[in-house]
Amino acid sequence: MGLVTTKEMFQKAYEGGYAIGAFNVNNMEIVQGIADAAIELNSPIILQVSAGARKYAKHNYLVKLVEAVLAEAPDLPVALHLDHGADFEICKSCIDGGFTSVMIDGSHHDFETNIELTKKVVEYAHERGVVVEAELGRLAGIEDAVNVSDADAAYTQPDEVEEFVTRTGVDSLAIAIGTSHGAYKFKPGTNPQLRFDILAEIEKRIPKFPIVLHGASSVPQEFVKIINEHGGALKDAIGVPEEQLRQAARSAVCKINIDSDLRLGMTAGIREVMWTKPEAFDPREYLTVGRANVKTVVMHKIKDVLGSEGKA
């Protein structure tokens, strides 16, 4: 089996009350850490690539790294997805270049422009057997090539979703219900609470339609501690409580995006080795620990948060 789209994954996840993890990949060690966990737990996965990742590692290297997962586990359902495609051109380039899924992020445009742009990508993608994710509403924080200040952040309006998915023909929809990108999602001392009331409203308007949650890292405090105890300076890094992600995974949310937690795991591993063994200069030494942490993060997500263990 080659790389697959997310169609069947989402249908099964919706019916089974679990979610598929969409993990950002930027290099070989991250791909391997995620793949090792998914293979061990027999879980479907989405490996996603941002514009920044394509710039850093190059399109062809990332495609080949992701395809290599299938050489290790030919029957594992693996989708290769473009994260936060900013325009038609980057989506086209990924559709033509071996991706099975793309996101067109028109969330910073007005409603009509978002529809037009999304529709254009959907037409091009569907003719080539590729699926499309779009976004309605805006997340706080920094999206790839899109700066959205806290003040601009707007929850998804349930009134708009039915018209948006009908007119665009899109396959899944990212919504804004209180998550944000990065490691600093909430103010210290506050009580983070996702807007499940908005999610329930959206589910009512578009029943059985796969919903996507961006900005869903939990910012594991054990990694923050290791980083800070080994020369790092991450102050007040706070993520989404895992119990709320579990609740989301049981609902219409079929795809949960995680990047920051992988970065924290990788950084904690590298910092620990660099700090405790200043004489080390073999990259394999510190990258081995970083990669093992990535695997630990993904094992935990699949087993204890997403519920996708054994669903491959």
**Which residues would be at the binding site for ligand 13P (CB under 6 A)?**
24, 83-84, 181-182, 214-217, 257-261
In 3D space, the residue among 231, 160, 240 whose CA is nearest the CA of residue 192 turns out to be 240
Encoded amino acid at 236, one letter: D
244 binds, among ligand 13P, Zn ion, ligand G3H, none (CB under 5 to 8 A by kind): none
Contact status, residue 21 vs residue 304, Cβ threshold 8 Å: no
Contact status, residue 57 vs residue 47, Cβ threshold 8 Å: no
**Helix 28-41 vs helix 260-276: angle between axes, to the nearest 10 degrees?**
110
Q: Is 109 helix (H, G, I), strand (E, B) or coil?
A: coil
Q: Identify which range of 28-36, 48-56, 198-206, 293-301 contacts ligand G3H by CB under 6 A.
A: 48-56
Nearer to ligand G3H, 181 or 255 (CB): 181
258 binds, among ligand 13P, ligand G3H, Zn ion, none (CB under 5 to 8 A by kind): ligand 13P
Q: Is 308 helix (H, G, I), strand (E, B) or coil?
A: coil
In 3D space, the residue among 45, 25, 33, 29 whose CA is nearest the CA of residue 295 turns out to be 33
Q: How far is the CB of 181 from ligand 13P (least distance, A)?
A: 4
Contact status, residue 172 vs residue 211, Cβ threshold 8 Å: yes
Show contacts with ligand G3H in window 252-271 (CB under 6 A).
259
Nearer to ligand 13P, 182 or 307 (CB): 182
Q: How far is the CB of 100 from ligand G3H (least distance, A)?
A: 19
81 interacts with ligand G3H by CB under 6 A: no
Nearer to Zn ion, 82 or 226 (CB): 82
Can you tell me the distance from the alpha carbon of 309 to that of 65, in angstroms, rounded to the nearest whole number? 23
Q: How far is the CB of 144 from ligand 13P (least distance, A)?
A: 8
Q: Is 94 helix (H, G, I), strand (E, B) or coil?
A: helix
Q: Which residues are catalytic?
A: 83
Nearer to ligand 13P, 83 or 273 (CB): 83
Q: Identify which range of 45-53, 69-77, 147-155, 160-168 contacts ligand G3H by CB under 6 A.
A: 45-53
Show contacts with ligand G3H in window 268-297 (CB under 6 A).
none
Show contacts with ligand G3H in window 11-30 (CB under 6 A).
24
Can you tell me the distance from the alpha carbon of 95 to that of 200, in angstroms, rounded to the nearest whole number? 32
Q: How far is the CB of 274 from Zn ion (least distance, A)?
A: 29
Nearer to ligand 13P, 44 or 141 (CB): 141
Contact status, residue 178 vs residue 202, Cβ threshold 8 Å: no
Q: How far is the CB of 131 from ligand 13P (least distance, A)?
A: 16
Can you tell me the distance from the alpha carbon of 256 to that of 60, in angstroms, rounded to the nearest whole number? 25
Task: Give the end-to-end CA distance of the chain in Å, rounded to a whole number.
Answer: 12
> Which residues contact ligand G3H (rule: CB under 6 A)?
24, 50, 52-53, 83-84, 143-144, 181, 259
